[in-house]
Every structure is written in structure tokens, then in C-alpha cells.
């Protein structure tokens, strides 16, 4: 498509977006370290909220004027896309919790050596290098397999994280290897389902913005997990087992939320779409 010379860059939206993202990320990163009641953190929270509200207002004005907003607010009128954003964030949340507090638990609770702890992600890595080729073929065969793939991606994570909520010194390191490996299977299903499903709900005009926003949400999940995981861990006041358990509880809850959204909304939507196609 030829570029329309009458469309100008949304410079104002870009600047406000930078302020919003910087405020959000810095606040979430430093809040667990210096406390949520610290005046600087409270200022960051206020800056995040205010910049977000201004961003929404400015982007709506640009879109209403037939301009090219940096984030099209009409994206969020698409209920399926909005829910897929939440699912995407929820399916990424566990990763930071698992890698951070799973490794900490293996090292300080069950007293594994550093070499063994460093190898915990090996099964997961191998699985995610091989399995997506097969899960992708399976999902591509039928649209109904897409929601099943998302359900497996979220459900397997919730099941894999559940044992860590009861962590103790009696745990075997082999349990860690197995559960980390299960998340590799979940990741293989996630990688071939959520992004394509979200893109399928977008129009050609919103495809690039919508995909970029989805990638941003996925990245934001790591920041949220680091912040809230740190808050929960620190609330245990030095009890490492309790802190690790609380952090993993959040991973179970968030992953379960994604599973429920897939089963009770995405499944119905995909089944309805399949019926409409058959009727046509």
C-alpha cells in the first residue's frame, strides 16, 4: 500500500506512551526493593495512571480525526482480541516466577549445587526447540484446535506450578526437572496459538499495531511477575519456603485465569465461528 502523505506521525502519542511505559516499568521494578509506600513509588504510580488516561484521550482524538494513532483505541472494542491480550499476559507470567523462584528453591531449600540448578531449564529448552513444529501442524489442521492449544498452554502451566506451592526440603531435584519440562510442552502450544488467534481478529489497518501491542503485553508480563512475585516473596519476611510458595501461588492463579477465559469464552467463540462457516 502507498503511504498517504496526509497522515502525520502521532508524535504526541509517542511521547505520552514513552512516559506511560517508563513510569509503569520503573515503578514495578523498584517497588519491591524500596516499598510500595515510598514517596517515589507513589509518584510513579500517579504518573502511570495520569499518563495512561491522557494517552487514551489523545489517541481517541487522533483516531476520531481519521489520523493514525500509535495505539488504535478501537482495538479494545474487539472483545475477543482484548481477552486474548489477557490470556497472552497470563500465559507469560509464570515464566519469570518459575525461573527466578524455582531456581532459588532448588538452590536454597533443597540444597542442590549450582551446576544442577543451572541445568534446570535444559529439558524445557529442548522441548521448545522441537515440539512447536508438531503442535503448529496440529493447530493448523482445524480452527477448533486453536482454543484447545491455548487451554493446554495455560492448564499445563497451572498444574506444573501447583506442586511448587507446597515446596519443602524433601522435594527431589527430579521433580524440578519434570515440572520445568512440562512448561516446555505448554510453551510449545502457546507459541502456535495465541498470537495467530489474536491476529485473525484484526483488520489489515490494525494488524501491525495489534501485533505490536500483543508483543508488548507479553513483555510486560515479565515485569509484572517480577514485581508482584517480589512483593509476595518479601512479605514472607525471610522465610524462603513460604516466600517461594506464595510467589508460585500467584503463578497458579494467573494461569488458571487464562485457562478459564479460554474455556468459557474463546472456545465458544471459535465453535460459533466454525458453525457460521459451515452454515455459509
Q: What is the pLDDT of residue 6?
A: 64
Q: What tens digit of pLDDT does each residue of 130-178 get?
A: 999 999 999 988 878 999 999 999 999 999 999 999 999 899 999 999 9
Rounded Cα distance between 212 and 66, Å, is 21
Q: Which residue has the cell 506512551?
A: 17
> For residue 2, what pLDDT band results from cuts at 50, 70 and 90?
low
Say how far apart CA 94 and CA 108 lie, in whole Å: 20
Q: Delimit the domains of the chain by residue range.
A: 1-71, 75-279
Phi, psi for residue 71 in degrees, rounded to 5: -130, 115
- Non-local (6+) Cβ contacts of 55 within 8 A are 13, 16, 17, 20, 71
What is the reported pTM?
0.86
Min mean pLDDT across 45-49, 103-107, 211-215 is at 211-215
pLDDT over 70 at 193, yes or no:
yes
**Is pLDDT above 60 for 119?**
yes
- pLDDT (average), residues 199-206: 85
DSSP per-residue codes, the chain:
----TTPPP-HHHHHHHHHHHHHHHHHHHHHHHH-TTSHHHHHHHHHHHHHHHHHHHHHHHHHHTT---SS-GGGGG-HHHHHHHHHHHHHHHHHHHIIIIIHHHHHHTS---HHHHHTTTHHHHHHHHHTHHHHHHHHHH-THHHHHHHHHHHHHHHHHHGGGGG--TT--HHHHHHHHHHHHHHHHHHHTTHHHHHHHTS-TTTHHHHHHHHHHHHHHHHHHHHHHHHHHHHTTTT-HHHHHHHHHHHHHHHHHHHHHHIIIIIHHHHHHHHHHHHH-
Domain 75-279, CATH among 1.20.1250.20, 1.10.3720.10, 3.30.300.30, 1.20.900.10: 1.20.1250.20
Amino acid at each position: 500500500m502507498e503511504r498517504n502523505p496526509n497522515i502525520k506521525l502521532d508524535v504526541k502519542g509517542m511521547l505520552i506512551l514513552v512516559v506511560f511505559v517508563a513510569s509503569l516499568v520503573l515503578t514495578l521494578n523498584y517497588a519491591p526493593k524500596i516499598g510500595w509506600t515510598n514517596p517515589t513509588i507513589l509518584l510513579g504510580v500517579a504518573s502511570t495512571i495520569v499518563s495512561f488516561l491522557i494517552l487514551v484521550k489523545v489517541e481517541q482524538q487522533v483516531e476520531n480525526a481519521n489520523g493514525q494513532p500509535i495505539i488504535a483505541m478501537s482495538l479494545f472494542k474487539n472483545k475477543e482480541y482484548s481477552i486474548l491480550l489477557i490470556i497472552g499476559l497470563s500465559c507469560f507470567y509464570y515464566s519469570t516466577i518459575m525461573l527466578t523462584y524455582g531456581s532459588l528453591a532448588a538452590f536454597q531449600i533443597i540444597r542442590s549445587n549450582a551446576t544442577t540448578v543451572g541445568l534446570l531449564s535444559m529439558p524445557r529448552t529442548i522441548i521448545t526447540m522441537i515440539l512447536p513444529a508438531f503442535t503448529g501442524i496440529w493447530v493448523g489442521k482445524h480452527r477448533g484446535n486453536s482454543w484447545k492449544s491455548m487451554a493446554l498452554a495455560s492448564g499445563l502451566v497451572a498444574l506444573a506450578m501447583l506442586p511448587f506451592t507446597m515446596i519443602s526440603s524433601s522435594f527431589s531435584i527430579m521433580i524440578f526437572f519434570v515440572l520445568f519440562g512440562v512448561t516446555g510442552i505448554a510453551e510449545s502450544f502457546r507459541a502456535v496459538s495465541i498470537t495467530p488467534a489474536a491476529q485473525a481478529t484484526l483488520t489489515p489497518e490494525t494488524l501491525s499495531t495489534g501485533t505490536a501491542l500483543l508483543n508488548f503485553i507479553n513483555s510486560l508480563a515479565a515485569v509484572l511477575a517480577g514485581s508482584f512475585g517480589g512483593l509476595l516473596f518479601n512479605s514472607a519476611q525471610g522465610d524462603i519456603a513460604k516466600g517461594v510458595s506464595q510467589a508460585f501461588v500467584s503463578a497458579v492463579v494467573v494461569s488458571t485465569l487464562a485457562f478459564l477465559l479460554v474455556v468459557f469464552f474463546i472456545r465458544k467463540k471459535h465453535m460459533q465461528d466454525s458453525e457460521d462457516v459451515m452454515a455459509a
